[in-house]
Structure 1
């Protein structure tokens, strides 16, 4: 089971949310993510943040439903998203899904994506999902189901990764060392029912994306 954290970034289409068939047990709204929860017809377990970007009428609606609220000052050392992740971990969740984590603010988007790496080192698996992308980490190996019109990219987050094998991909690789900053593994495609990425060393972010 997973915790779902809804941030104040881009909206997620309800159809995509349903199709992903996410196994959600606990829902956290990080500030303005509360309005996205309303659009997805989700009732959060808790609202967390400094409340600087939340619609006050929507907030009142959920507070009237006795939804728990943890309010932080606007001047703080962590983003609302990271505070929400910390809360999910305190609740015992090791699988966390972020939506509303990407958007027009590139600084927030990159910071949220990099949380995947930070928390993986603490034993927490995080996925970032929006209308065009699913981002997660790969260490050792990962199997990906083929989705029509989607591309798969691997971006090294260690000094290098050793791609032992890409199985089921249009552009296969075997025993290739890919350095951090390389674009060699960007925009590949799965041509079988599924694709398998096998790494001998290092870690990378896997982007499953469509235009």
Structure 2
């Protein structure tokens, strides 16, 4: 199963159009301002999430009453960001549950259009791509980066993707292939206080059970040189960032 979240940060149209040509999704979640991109790209969305305070009313009106879209509308005075709510929804979709959010426990109002249900999905490959999660609001960017942990903990391969970066949270062992790799550079940024036993094989700057910690730049800007590369982290969690200029 593959799910796409389109949220309201910066999206480069040329890159995003090209990226989406190569991917097909079982569910597409548009988040508030991200609906504007979905609209101009002609993407078929299955869920619409947000308090709708940043989307043009004329665009919103085209979607909010459609019977083929599950609408999850919240009041602006809520505890979680629209993107966070969309990530929680995506995790529930992967788990195959029914109505994904409990408005009572969230302290929010959930609106589903009449007679709409969220379809059950079979387990298997679980991939979540998020577009529009980076931009000028660094508070939102940092919050979005942290959400990758919840996605990883749910057993989902989750990636924040923009024109220059593909960001994923990893632990344990991770495999990369030169064919189709996103960008030239690979960096590991500690997401826990310590990263222990870091081994990098197939990279320009290999490591053998090295240690680093939060605040250090030891693993920034490496390059895959072999056809395949292996990243092993014995203890700790890191953001893996594949990037290009």
| TM-score normalised to structure 2 length | 0.79
Give matches, 1:133-172, under 5 Å.
Answer: 133-146=165-178, 147=181, 150-172=184-206
- 2:10 aligns with 10
How far apart, CA to CA, are the structure 1 residues paired with 2:182 and 2:84?
33
Determine if the alignment matches structure 1 residue 69 to structure 2 residue 71.
yes
Q: For 1:100-139, list aligned pairs within 5 A.
A: 100-139=132-171
Q: Find the counterpart in structure 2 of residue 31 from structure 1.
A: 32
The yes-or-no answer on 1:95 pairing with 2:95 is no
**2:23 and 2:238 mapped to 1: Cα distance?**
23
TM-align CA RMSD = 2.0
Alignment of 1:39-54 (within 5 A): 39-54=40-55
Write the deviation string for residues 69-88 of structure 1: whole angstroms up to 9, x where unpaired. 22100000000001111112
Shift of 1:90: 2.2
Change (3 A) 1:184 1:6: same
Structure with higher Rg: it is: 2
Structure 1 window deviating more from structure 2 (38-47 vs 1-10): it is: 38-47
Q: CA deviation at 1:17?
A: 5.2
Q: Distance in 2 between matches of 1:178 and 1:36?
A: 39
Aligned in 2, Cα 1:99/1:19: closer, same or farther, shift over 3 Å? closer
- Asked if structure 1 preserves the Cα contact closer than 8 Å seen for 2:32 and 2:55, the reply is yes
Q: For 2:56 and 2:227, how far apart are their aligned partners in 1?
A: 43
Is there any run of 5+ residues in structure 2 with no aligned partner, and where? 96-125
Say how many residue pairs are matched.
Answer: 211
Distance (Å, rounded) in 2 between the aligned partners of 1:44 and 1:14 = 20
